């Protein structure tokens, strides 16, 4: 199978603009690394404990170390880090690209679709190599980590072409859920869109997006996935972006994503107990 050609970008695709440092002060090292675009705080903690980060030339491996970016030099694998202006993109990921930071086999990463010399970007969550469609790409490690985390249950919408014509009774099984070694997988909703020859197009909505979840669910009911495309992530839609094209998220979309994780992470308030009833004495109960 030949490798896909490099995708085209149209004139409407946003260019990565120069970054503007944010005002900074003393902060925890892992928070600074995430703000500098190294990914989630969990990944940043791994970078610290494995000795890949230095402050003023000294390797730092203790979590919780404080750093003042305005006064101290922080490097990752020898590269000086700075806090960058936060940027947020919607990308139509083509087939054949990975969402990982690096691949020992030399396969292409989605961040290669953006101009070099810009901010250090990473993909929020993953689409496997043979899937395509909407990816959020950003250098905001804190928000990106929350959007990808299962606890926040962000809606992900997919259009899936499957072999055969599954009846509604079979699709209901996907909504009820099936058990795998990692636990129970289930779709929030599944609805048929159209038939094409010996295949069917489905709209599948998830709220966790586990590894190859849709493919494994459909394989279990005997309908192989022929094509899988993500078309929605929370309030963001793929729209008319062609494979390899991207655009900057609108402020309204960024705010909506922030509100989603804020709403999910807000502590639930317990209902205040009603007035306690006084127990009747034994003489009163009679």
Residue 150's φ and ψ, nearest 5 degrees, are -60, -30
Q: Is 37 left (phi over 0), alpha (psi -120 to 50) or beta?
A: left
DSSP assignment string, 114-156: SPTTS---EESS---TT-EEEEEEES-HHHHHHHHSGGG---E
Instruction: Answer whether 214's CB lies under 8 Å from 202's CB.
Output: no
Write down the pLDDT at residue 267.
Answer: 53
68 classed as catalytic: no
CATH class of residue range 88-150+239-261: alpha beta
SS3 at position 210: coil
CA dist 180 and 273 (Å) reads: 41
- Provide the CATH number for the domain formed by 155-233 in this structure: 3.30.2350.10
List the catalytic residue out of 20, 68, 77, 128.
128
pLDDT score recorded for residue 6: 44
Residue 248: per-residue pLDDT: 97
Q: Which residues of the chain form CATH 3.30.70.580?
A: 88-150+239-261
Tell me which residue has tokens 């903690």: 45
Q: pLDDT at position 286, please?
A: 43
CATH 3.10.290.10 positions along the chain are 27-80
CATH class of 27-80: alpha beta
DSSP β-bridge partners for residue 138: 88, 122
DSSP character string of 71-107 = TS-EEETTEE-------EEEEEEPTT-B-SS--TT--
Q: Where in the chain is the domain with CATH 3.30.2350.10?
A: 155-233
- Angle separating helix axes 251-265 and 141-148, nearest 10 degrees: 60
pLDDT recorded at residue 266 = 55
**How far is 8 from 29, CA to CA, in rounded Å?**
38
The list of the chain residues with pLDDT below 70 reads: 1-24, 102, 264-286
* pTM, two decimal places: 0.73
């Amino acid at each position: 199978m030949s490798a896909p050609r490099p995708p085209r970008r149209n004139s409407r695709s946003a260019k990565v603009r120069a970054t503007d440092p944010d005002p900074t002060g003393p902060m925890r090292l892992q928070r600074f690394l995430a703000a500098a675009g190294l990914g989630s705080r969990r990944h940043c903690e791994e970078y610290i404990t494995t000795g890949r980060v230095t402050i003023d030339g000294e390797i730092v491996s203790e979590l919780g170390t404080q750093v003042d970016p305005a006064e101290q030099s922080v490097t990752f694998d020898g590269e000086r880090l700075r806090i960058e202006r936060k940027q947020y993109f919607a990308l139509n990921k083509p087939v054949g690209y990975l969402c990982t930071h690096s691949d020992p086999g030399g396969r292409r990463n989605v961040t290669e679709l953006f101009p070099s010399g810009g901010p250090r970007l990473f993909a929020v969550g993953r689409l496997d190599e043979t899937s395509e469609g909407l990816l959020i790409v950003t250098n905001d490690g804190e928000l990106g980590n929350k959007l990808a985390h299962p606890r926040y249950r962000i809606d992900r919408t997919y259009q899936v072409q499957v072999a055969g014509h599954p009846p509604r009774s079979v699709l209901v099984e996907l909504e009820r859920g099936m058990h795998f070694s990692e636990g129970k997988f289930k779709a929030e909703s599944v609805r048929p869109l159209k038939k094409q020859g010996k295949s069917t197009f489905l709209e599948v909505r998830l709220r966790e997006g586990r590894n190859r979840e849709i493919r494994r669910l459909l394989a279990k009911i005997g309908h192989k996935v022929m094509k899988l495309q993500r078309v929605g992530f929370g309030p963001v839609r793929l729209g008319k972006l062609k494979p390899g094209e991207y655009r900057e998220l609108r402020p309204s979309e960024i705010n909506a994503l922030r509100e989603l994780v804020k709403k999910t992470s807000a502590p639930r308030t317990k209902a205040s107990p009603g007035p306690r009833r006084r127990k009747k004495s034994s003489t009163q109960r009679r």
